């Protein structure tokens, strides 16, 4: 018998935390993607293997295939969302996991969770038309709708905790070093 809340296996959650407390190395993960440019704004990414919990993961029989493209106004053909759109999804997905997992850990049942995101960007940066305009989002707004079996106070605390521990929110709010290597073809 397993104890589930919000679709999260609580036994496994507690077990994972306890194993990491005893073997800190278990917490080291490496995620990977492989992207091929196809044509114009269109690229395709394969996502399958990763290293974590001391092993190469083998849970995925085949890769996830994700398409990226631009809309026509940005010279693409809408084969997929563009890079800054999918980045907003990454943030929402991260917050969704963190909020519902931590709610489960605290015995809070989540009925509904909706996250709407907006990001403002000035293309002078991307187009190289101004050194005073950053290429990326100037700011991002996240609006959340939550229905859960908890007090306002509990939800506020949970929300603060989910923000503090969110990998993607950290990556967006704070600098991450990115190194670049060239491989001959």
Helix axes 83-105, 152-164, angle to 10 degrees: 130
Q: Cα separation of 65 and 171, whole Å?
A: 23
Q: Does 154 bind its own copies (CB under 8 A)?
A: no
> H-helix or E-strand containing 47?
strand 42-47
Provide, rounded to whole angstroms, the least separation between the CB of residue 96 and its own copies: 4
Provide, rounded to whole angstroms, the least separation between the CB of residue 30 and its own copies: 5
Provide, rounded to whole angstroms, the least separation between the CB of residue 98 and its own copies: 7
Residues 164-183 that bind its own copies (CB under 8 A): 164-183
Task: Answer for the pair 106, 158: CB distance below 8 angstroms, yes or no.
Answer: yes
Q: Does 107 bind its own copies (CB under 8 A)?
A: no
Total residues in contact with its own copies, by rule CB under 8 A: 125
Q: Cα separation of 58 and 123, whole Å?
A: 41
Residue from the set 7, 22, 132, 153 that interacts with its own copies by CB under 8 A: 7
Q: Does 93 bind its own copies (CB under 8 A)?
A: yes
Residues 28-87 that bind its own copies (CB under 8 A): 28-37, 39-43, 45, 47, 50, 52-53, 57, 59-60, 64, 66, 68, 70-76, 78, 80-87
Q: What angle do CA 116, 96, 61 make, to 5 degrees?
A: 115
Q: Does 88 bind its own copies (CB under 8 A)?
A: yes
Task: Answer for the pair 119, 159: CB distance below 8 angstroms, yes or no.
Answer: no
Q: Does 158 bind its own copies (CB under 8 A)?
A: no
Q: Does 116 bind its own copies (CB under 8 A)?
A: yes
Q: What are phi and psi of 90, to 5 degrees?
A: -55, -45
């Amino acid at each position: 018998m397993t104890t589930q809340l919000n679709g999260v296996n609580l036994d496994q959650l507690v077990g994972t935390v306890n194993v990491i407390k005893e073997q800190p190395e278990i917490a080291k993960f490496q995620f990977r993607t492989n992207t091929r440019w196809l044509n114009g704004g269109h690229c395709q990414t394969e996502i399958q293997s990763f290293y974590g919990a001391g092993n190469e993961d083998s849970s995925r029989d085949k890769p996830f295939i994700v398409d990226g493209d631009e809309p026509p106004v940005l010279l693409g053909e809408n084969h997929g969302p563009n890079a800054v759109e999918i980045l907003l999804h990454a943030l929402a997905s991260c917050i969704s996991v963190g909020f519902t997992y931590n709610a489960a850990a605290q015995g809070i049942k989540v009925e509904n969770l909706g996250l709407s995101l907006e990001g403002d960007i000035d293309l002078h940066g991307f187009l190289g038309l101004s050194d005073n305009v950053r290429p990326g989002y100037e700011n991002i707004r996240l609006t959340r709708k939550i229905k859960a079996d908890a007090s306002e106070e509990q939800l506020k605390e949970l929300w603060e905790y989910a923000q503090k521990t969110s990998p993607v929110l950290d990556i967006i709010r704070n600098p991450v070093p990115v190194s670049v290597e060239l491989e001959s073809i």
